[in-house]
Copies of this chain bind each other. A is one copy, B any other.
């Protein structure tokens, strides 16, 4: 592959974090080189990435990998192919860091078309390898300059973000005063070397599942009236959105509340913000905010507010049942809400609150829930 640095690409990044990433990746390459040099068949160890090697860590309240390991070696053609891909990918990441570039996971997959023998058979394969490298190197995919397809999650409220833009220029924008009503688009890499956060009057975070409800709170001025920071989750949130929330919580000490629909999939959105997801168990420490509190629609709300509902589908029912055995939903609140939903056989969307007009959610529903939690 060719990659040239032009005057458009901004200054070369040589900060600590990037050096550390390069060092750790090079260590992997060194180990393969040494093994080959010593006449050994190259191999590397990885944590086993299957469901039975994932544990809920009750001390930190997040998902983690267990101790099971798998060995990847070059004893078979398939294994050797995998090692070749690993080295190709490290080479590509190395070039990207060196030239201050980034690529989508989809581009990463297509880049391999130029490798001949190392070519991936599917994007799943290249995505997985990127995650393997995260685990082996103890770096993040964002350090590798790999990003998912566009996400579009947004934030509105009084905090100030200083981000290094594509030209290498630091740009400072207040998320209340300097953005249109569509908000500030959260970038794919929100690590400290790229994005600095400065507190404003925002006192807590409302992370919102749907764009319609995000726009409702924006239009109703909920952020300004209650000093809230509104973050749009956009369904199951991207890594960068979860990491952004985590940093806001840790560094600016903003309590996190999560406002979703009332159905089993939305409960999982909450759980992934609060406790981490199985797929990203190796970086739960970075992504999860265990003190997050749920202010989404519950079975109790459906009854109390007589909300318009839909029937639970068979998939909904089995998702709820499996949540009853999920350690993330083991406390009394969740057990009783999940059981209540199973017995009423109904779910409701957050926008169903519009039954009582466009102001009900900001005049009554949210203030009541936030007061109960001691946030207002």
A180-B165 in contact (CB<8A): yes
Q: Kindly provide the distance from the CB of A265 to the nearest chain B CB, expressed in whole angstroms.
A: 16
Chain B residues, CB < 8 A from A4 = 359
Q: Kindly provide the distance from the CB of A18 to the nearest chain B CB, expressed in whole angstroms.
A: 17
Asked if A340 is an interface residue, CB under 8 A from chain B, the answer is no
Chain B residues, CB < 8 A from A150 = 152, 210-212, 214-215, 232, 234
CA distance A234 to B152 in the complex (A): 10
Query: How many copies of this protein are present in the complex?
Result: 2
Name the residue on B nearest A4 (C-beta).
B359
Asked if A336 is an interface residue, CB under 8 A from chain B, the answer is no
B2-A221 in contact (CB<8A): no
CA distance A211 to B185 in the complex (A): 13
A220-B2 in contact (CB<8A): no
Of B114, B187, B355, the contact of A355 (CB 8 Å cutoff)? B114
Q: Kindly provide the distance from the CB of A173 to the nearest chain B CB, expressed in whole angstroms.
A: 7
Query: Which residues from 192 to 222 on chain A have a C-beta closer than 8 Å to any C-beta of chain B?
Result: 210-212, 214-216, 218-221
Q: Kindly provide the distance from the CB of A3 to the nearest chain B CB, expressed in whole angstroms.
A: 6
Asked if A374 is an interface residue, CB under 8 A from chain B, the answer is no
CA distance A104 to B114 in the complex (A): 46
Query: Which residues from 35 to 51 on chain A have a C-beta closer than 8 Å to any C-beta of chain B?
Result: none
Asked if A351 is an interface residue, CB under 8 A from chain B, the answer is yes
What are the interface flags for A232-251 relative to B under an 8 Å C-beta threshold, 1 for contact and 0 otherwise? 10100000000000000000
Residues of A whose CB lies within 8 Å of any CB of B are: 1-4, 6, 8-9, 101-104, 106-107, 110-111, 113-114, 147, 149-152, 154, 161, 163, 165-167, 171, 173, 178, 180-187, 210-212, 214-216, 218-221, 224-225, 232, 234, 308, 349, 351-359
A8-B221, A106-B349, A165-B180 known, 7 other contacts, Cβ within 8 Å: A3-B358, A6-B221, A8-B225, A110-B353, A114-B356, A149-B212, A167-B221
